[in-house]
A and B are shown apart, each in its own frame.
Chain A
Amino acid sequence: AAGVIQSPRHLIKEKRETATLKCYPIPRHDTVYWYQQGPGQDPQFLISFYEKMQSDKGSIPDRFSAQQFSDYHSELNMSSLELGDSALYFCASSGRGFNEQYFGPGTRLTVT
């Protein structure tokens, strides 16, 4: 079965640079969620989109923005990167019905 696809899997950036993370949800899933997970932490919700509209907002910094496109893929744009942004970034998707979220393999972002 098709799963959530994230790219890139690993990303190394320097402070103050920008980064773009991409997420391709499971086919026919209309909702995308972004999470940030630091070492030894549980996933922290950043933002979600339903049918291309922002549906919920969590602890996403103002330096970050995201959107969902007409093909339902989503991109997380991160600017003015800081050392503290180094983390695993997960995208999850869900379809109609219960709020079952299926996670992608994540993007490991390292800011140096």
Chain B
Amino acid sequence: TQLLEQSPQFLSIQEGENLTVYCNSSSVFSSLQWYRQEPGEGPVLLVTVVTGGEVKKLKRLTFQFGDARKDSSLHITAAQPGDTGLYLCAGARGYSTLTFGKGTMLLVSP
């Protein structure tokens, strides 16, 4: 059973469209991190959210942590081909290891 459920698993959109990726769990996390990974490369940390209800913005990316700290979302505005990649959410409890979701593979076509 996957502790963190990500949806959708795959997303193919045109440049300029908006999208939202969801990361849901029945467990509470002390922090949640979002990573982007390109094929054959290591995941790159995008953001860490810690406080329930927290919203963080990174240029065209908006990250939100649920009030109960069980879920999170990533919204991309006006997607660009450079946004293509595998987006992974990962939850942590205290200083324990991360639990990853299965990831959302995003393809943005010109």
What is the interface of chain A, defined by CB distance below 8 A to chain B?
Answer: 4, 33, 41-43, 45, 48, 56, 58, 88, 90, 92, 98-106, 108
Contact among A99, A105, A106 with B92 in the assembled complex (CB-CB below 8 Å): A99
In the complex, the chain A residue whose C-beta lies closest to that of B105 is A40
B102 within 8 A of A: yes
Bound: A43/B50 CA distance, A: 22
In the complex, the chain B residue whose C-beta lies closest to that of A90 is B42
With contacts A42-B88, A42-B103 taken as known, whether A99 is within 8 angstroms of B42 at the C-beta atoms is: no
Contact among B30, B50, B96 with A56 in the assembled complex (CB-CB below 8 Å): B96
Bound: A88/B97 CA distance, A: 18
Contact among B31, B41, B96, B97 with A106 in the assembled complex (CB-CB below 8 Å): B41
Interface of A is mostly: loop
Least distance between A4 CB and chain B CB atoms (Å): 8
A-B contact count (CB 8 A): 55
Closest 10 CB pairs of A and B: A103-B42, A99-B92, A42-B100, A45-B97, A103-B43, A105-B42, A106-B42, A56-B97, A100-B48, A42-B102
Chain A neighbourhood of B97, CB < 8 A: 33, 45, 48, 56, 58
A98 B40 Cβ-Cβ under 8 A: no
19 contacts between A and B (CB under 8 A): A33-B98, A42-B102, A43-B43, A43-B88, A45-B98, A48-B97, A58-B97, A90-B42, A99-B92, A99-B95, A99-B96, A99-B98, A100-B33, A101-B98, A103-B44, A103-B45, A104-B42, A106-B40, A106-B42
